[in-house]
Chains A and B, each alone.
Chain A
Amino acid sequence: MPLSRRIQRALPNGLSIALVGLVMLILFGPVILLALFSFNDSTVISLPWEGFTTRWYTEAINDDGAMHAIWNSVMVASVVTVASLILGTLASWGLTRIKFRGRPLVAGIHGAVLVVPWLIIGVAGLIFFSQIEMALSLNTIILMHIVVTFPLVVAVVSAGLIRFNPSLEEAAIDMGASQFQMMRYVVMPQIAPSLAAAAIFAFAWSFNNFEISFFTGGFEQTFPVWVYGVLRHSSNLPVVNAASTVIAAAQVLLVFGLWYGMKLMTRKRGGSDREAAEMITGAVR
């Protein structure tokens, strides 16, 4: 991107590199250290290095609390992802391609969910379930996760649909495609990368969600709630280390897997990396 040399001089390359390096160090340094120390053969997480061990991983696997919490989180996040994709795709098609009365209002409610803090939604959920006398469990966590997560899918998929010219859909219908064929062969390939991005974001939102799970889970613990509980009482720390490392590694793999998949998909249909980047930023906008 061509830029005034004066502006470029204002922030020399050395400074840019230093800034980026510092930010990356602050964002990832602590987690990388945590991963390293999960292999340290000591019950306290500090120097000196006592030697390499995998015993904390063995202990984590045998820790019922940890395994149960991770399993709960994976299950909740999977259900939430599937439900959010279905609801989100329906709504984003409805909101971008169909005109109906009250559309701005409905779109507004979808947007409102995304700006209400999760703490408040969690408290509201707790009171709501106590009023309808529904016992708090994984089910109530799932319900509340779905309602905060599917509007995110709507945001991502709508961004994809808006970029994509509806006249192609009209052309397909004009040339005799059925509604189903049009969806299957014209729309799906276009929004597939958006759907993939939305799926990853939805899974991460649900998996990482602490506030809502904490308030609406009752005695059931998801992974973040379990870590919170252990940290509050400061026991079992090396086990938390090991479990956290496994989770962090899985998340890194997932994000890179998605990235690679999206790159393949956009390349295949002649798109550019630029589009893939927009898909990512689109989720946050």
Chain B
Amino acid sequence: MGVPTASVPTVTGERPSRFSKLLKPFAFMSLPTAVLVLLFLVPMGILVYFSFQYGDLTGQAGFTFSNFTDILGDELYRRIALTTFEIATIAMIAQLIVGIPLAYVLAYKAGRFELPLLLALVLADELNPMVRIYAWRMLLGREGLINDALTSIGLIDAPIDALLFNKFSVIVVLSTSYLTYTVIPIYASMKAVDSGLFEAARDMGAGWFTTFRRVLLPLIAPGIFIALLLVYVPLFTDFAAPTLVGGTTGYMLGNVVSDLVLENGNLNAGAAMSFLMLLAAALFSLVAYQLSRVKQGAK
């Protein structure tokens, strides 16, 4: 991500002494690194440890794989995992279908509206996600504004129930919540494309679709993969949207974790589920990262 690893020369008046060579990194990095170790690495380690333990009332009693075998063998969890995959994937595809053309318009066609639109996207992200969920619920509900409007103009006789508390409403809410993070990486990768390439493609007789598929798409692939990393992974773990607008058919893996930990108080099972999701996320990130490098190399 944005954290750089490129080497930049250090600022030094004269040759640094051995002492300052050790002291300087320590002065800057010790505090941030300590915070990361203590509040990120250690809790994650404990999470993994807990996922391999079985607990009784007195505390953690011993080593076991049963948390994992229980989860993986459970028919219900498999079905929820499938629902989660379905919802997250449809939401991701919907965002890409809207996001790629939108990034294109922003990067090449918006002119003086480019910056205000960019700002609007940032603003959309800064708006409180809970407020957004609430707003959609108010729109889509049985007595919501869409049903109200449709019945009052006589288009429908009875309110449509299919708008809220199902997969559809979860997909709508999730797609609108993450759109900023889909568009901006793709936009950024488009800004880096040399527009002369389009001229060249045209001169060689390529149509717009060929130009898009053979020229633009390979060049913005890294941006698309970053978008996948930033959006697709969190989509799998969301649980506020499915709880508030998902009803019974929109129950996702995030709800499972939340219910296991907070409702059942089963920290071990919750930890195991979290760990499995983390592994899946790590695997996906690794694949996405490798793919984005391959594509970059191929240009």
| Stretch from B22-30, B65-73, B77-85, B291-299 forming part of the interface with A | B22-30
Confirm or deny: B63 has a beta carbon within 8 angstroms of a beta carbon on chain A.
Answer: no
Q: Which residues of A contact B209 (CB under 8 A)?
A: 10
CA of A45 to CA of B134, assembled, Å: 11
Contact A128-B42, Cβ < 8 Å, known A34-B134, A277-B118, A281-B184: yes
Contact A162 B8 (CB under 8 A): yes
Q: Which residues of B contact A20 (CB under 8 A)?
A: 102, 105, 110, 113, 117
Confirm or deny: A219 has a beta carbon within 8 angstroms of a beta carbon on chain B.
Answer: no
Contact A123-B261, Cβ < 8 Å, known A94-B32, A281-B118: yes
Closest to A117 in B: B237
The smallest C-beta distance from A258 to any residue of chain B, in angstroms, reads 9
Confirm or deny: A135 has a beta carbon within 8 angstroms of a beta carbon on chain B.
Answer: no
Contact A210 B130 (CB under 8 A): yes
Contact B3 A158 (CB under 8 A): yes
Q: Which residues of B contact A210 (CB under 8 A)?
A: 129-130, 240
Confirm or deny: B46 has a beta carbon within 8 angstroms of a beta carbon on chain A.
Answer: yes
Closest to B212 in A: A10
Contact B202 A128 (CB under 8 A): no
Q: Which residues of A contact B46 (CB under 8 A)?
A: 124, 127-128, 131
Contact B143 A146 (CB under 8 A): no
Contact A166 B143 (CB under 8 A): no
Q: Which residues 77-128 of A have a CB within 8 angstroms of B? A: 87-88, 90-91, 93-100, 103-104, 106-121, 123-128
Contact A2 B195 (CB under 8 A): yes
Q: Which residues of A contact B98 (CB under 8 A)?
A: 19, 23
Contact B267 A127 (CB under 8 A): yes
Contact A87 B32 (CB under 8 A): yes
Q: Which residues of B contact A188 (CB under 8 A)?
A: none
Confirm or deny: A227 has a beta carbon within 8 angstroms of a beta carbon on chain B.
Answer: yes
Contact B185 A285 (CB under 8 A): yes
Confirm or deny: B133 has a beta carbon within 8 angstroms of a beta carbon on chain A.
Answer: yes
Contact A231 B133 (CB under 8 A): yes
Confirm or deny: A276 has a beta carbon within 8 angstroms of a beta carbon on chain B.
Answer: yes
Q: Which residues of A contact B176 (CB under 8 A)?
A: 26-27, 30
Q: Which residues 187-227 of B have a CB within 8 angstroms of A? A: 187-188, 195, 198-199, 201-202, 207-209, 211-212, 226
The smallest C-beta distance from A31 to any residue of chain B, in angstroms, reads 5
* Dominant secondary structure of chain B at its interface with chain A: helix
Q: Which residues 240-297 of B have a CB within 8 angstroms of A? A: 240, 243-244, 254, 257-258, 261-262, 267, 270-271, 274, 277-278, 281, 285
Contact A228 B240 (CB under 8 A): yes
Confirm or deny: A28 has a beta carbon within 8 angstroms of a beta carbon on chain B.
Answer: yes
Q: Which residues of A contact B187 (CB under 8 A)?
A: 281
Among B31, B33, B123, B148, point to the contact of A255 (Cβ < 8 A). Answer: B123
Confirm or deny: B5 has a beta carbon within 8 angstroms of a beta carbon on chain A.
Answer: yes
Contact A259 B119 (CB under 8 A): yes
CA of A44 to CA of B104, assembled, Å: 41
Contact A19 B11 (CB under 8 A): no
Interface centre among A7, A93, A158, A248 (most CB of B within 10 A): A7
Contact B32 A90 (CB under 8 A): yes
Chain B residues packing against A (C-beta within 8 Å): 1-13, 24-25, 28-29, 31-33, 35-36, 39-44, 46-47, 50, 98, 101-102, 104-105, 107-110, 113-115, 117-139, 143-145, 148-149, 152, 176, 179-181, 184-185, 187-188, 195, 198-199, 201-202, 207-209, 211-212, 226, 229-230, 233-234, 236-240, 243-244, 254, 257-258, 261-262, 267, 270-271, 274, 277-278, 281, 285
20 contacts between A and B (CB under 8 A): A7-B202, A11-B101, A19-B102, A34-B135, A87-B35, A98-B24, A103-B5, A109-B40, A115-B233, A116-B44, A127-B43, A147-B36, A147-B40, A162-B6, A210-B130, A211-B239, A227-B128, A244-B128, A273-B115, A284-B181
> Which 8 interchain pairs have the tightest Cβ spacing?
A155-B2, A94-B28, A10-B208, A30-B135, A100-B25, A128-B43, A91-B32, A124-B43
Known: A30-B135, A231-B133. 18 other contacts (CB 8 A): A4-B199, A16-B110, A19-B98, A27-B121, A47-B148, A47-B149, A94-B28, A110-B32, A117-B277, A120-B237, A147-B35, A154-B3, A155-B1, A169-B11, A170-B11, A214-B258, A244-B128, A251-B126
Chain A residues packing against B (C-beta within 8 Å): 1-11, 13, 16, 19-20, 23-24, 26-28, 30-31, 33-34, 37, 44-47, 87-88, 90-91, 93-100, 103-104, 106-121, 123-128, 130-131, 143-144, 146-147, 150-151, 154-156, 158-159, 162, 166, 169-170, 173-174, 182, 200, 204, 207-208, 210-211, 214-215, 223-224, 227-228, 231-232, 240-241, 244, 247-248, 251-252, 254-256, 259, 273, 276-277, 280-285
